[in-house]
Amino acid sequence: MGVPSCPTSHSSEVVHYQHRTVEDRYLTALAGAAAGVCASFCVCPLDVVKTRLQGQIHSHSSIVKYRGTVDTIHTIMKEEGVRGLYRGLSPTLLGMVPTWTTYFTAYNFFKSMLETNDRQEGLQFSKGQIFVHMLSACGAGIVTATVSNPFWVVKTRIQMFSRHSCPYRGTMDAFLKIPREEGIAALYKGLGPSLLGVSHITIQYPMYERLKLELAKRQRVPIDENFHTELGVPSLVAAAAGSKIFASVFTYPHEVVRTRMIMESDEKSGLLLQYVKLWREAGIRGLYRAFFTNVFRVIPSSAVTFVSYELVYNWLVHCYGKDKQESVQRVKSNKDSVK
């Protein structure tokens, strides 16, 4: 049974459904995997550009190969063709599927454990709820970063080289050669900055759910206990893009540091040292190298990922989920209900 039509009374109402089915966790995992696949195909070219720009060790314009987003795209197209813009697509897909499958599943798991059963106040976004969402996002981010780090190491290594100069014959060859030549720890290079980067999703996802809730209330659209909703695509895009940009401003430098750590072979080059080196080389510009490329990349990436997840999840629930209406809670949302 699908989500019912929205109430039409003067005061907006949020219809709160509980989905207590065994299948729900699997639907969440499948929707997360589909979201990762969609995002991979859409943003791989700009991901390659970002990786090439971030991976340049020197900061002086006379010795760098790539000089900005447009120049990088032109150079790659000239030297490697369209295929060059999709370098690392296989490991990206291989990484995206477990990443988003793990993240959405872990997030809902942590949230269900942390949130209270007292829902008398409905879905009002209280301070306690924000805390629950941030802790859930943080826990899911840590689990996801640990599980997926080897995939991103392989992806970054492959994307950094052109097809003719790449030392790896393919994804599996890279997975075998990197630990054989550099040790198993090489697959976890950059894990420190990745864990530090959990702060990004800790900021972004609660903000995304906050925006979804506000939009659902304004548009009188049903929203369930896990904040799944049937908002239209434009509203979901706005929520995803807004939350992603907000989080990126505060957490971008760790992405630059993570890329540098993956590419450098010096084992003594730790997290703090990389920050110091980048600051000495190019100051604040070094820490925000390729930031605008990243912004143009993350907006479609975030939008595609979250919108795909919402749409696929809703489709799976309607088609395959035993979506029984165990409890329906109508929450009055007058002018003073949300401060």
Rounded to the nearest angstrom, the gap between the alpha carbon of residue 43 and the centroid of all alpha carbons in its chain is 12
> What spatial distance separates the first Cα and last Cα of the chain, rounded to whole Å?
33
**The whole model's pTM is what?**
0.69
Q: DSSP for 199-233?
A: HHHHHHHHHHHHHHHHHHHHHT--B-TT--B---H
Which residues of the chain have a pLDDT value below 70?
1-23, 56-63, 116-128, 162-163, 226, 262-270, 321-339
Residue 204: predicted pLDDT: 92
Q: 18-115+125-323: what CATH class?
A: mainly alpha
CB-based contacts of 120, cutoff 8 Å, min separation 6? none
Q: State the Cα–Cα distance between residues 100 and 144, nearest whole angstrom.
A: 8
Question: What are the domain boundaries of the chain?
Answer: 18-115+125-323
Per-residue pLDDT of 182-191, as tens digits, reads 999 999 987 8
Q: State the Cα–Cα distance between residues 79 and 165, nearest whole angstrom.
A: 12
Residue 268: predicted pLDDT: 56
Q: DSSP for 161-178?
A: S-TTT-S-SSHHHHHHHH
Q: Are the C-beta atoms of 44 and 85 separated by less than 8 Å?
A: yes
34: number of Cβ within 10 Å: 21
Residue 329: predicted pLDDT: 38
Q: State the Cα–Cα distance between residues 182 and 178, nearest whole angstrom.
A: 6
Per-residue pLDDT of 316-338, as tens digits, reads 888 876 544 443 333 334 434 44
Rounded alpha-carbon distances, angstroms, from residue 148 to 25, 92, 103, 283, 303: 20, 10, 10, 30, 21
Q: Strand pairing partners for 145? A: none
The closest of 26, 227, 221, 217 to 137, measured between CA atoms, is 227
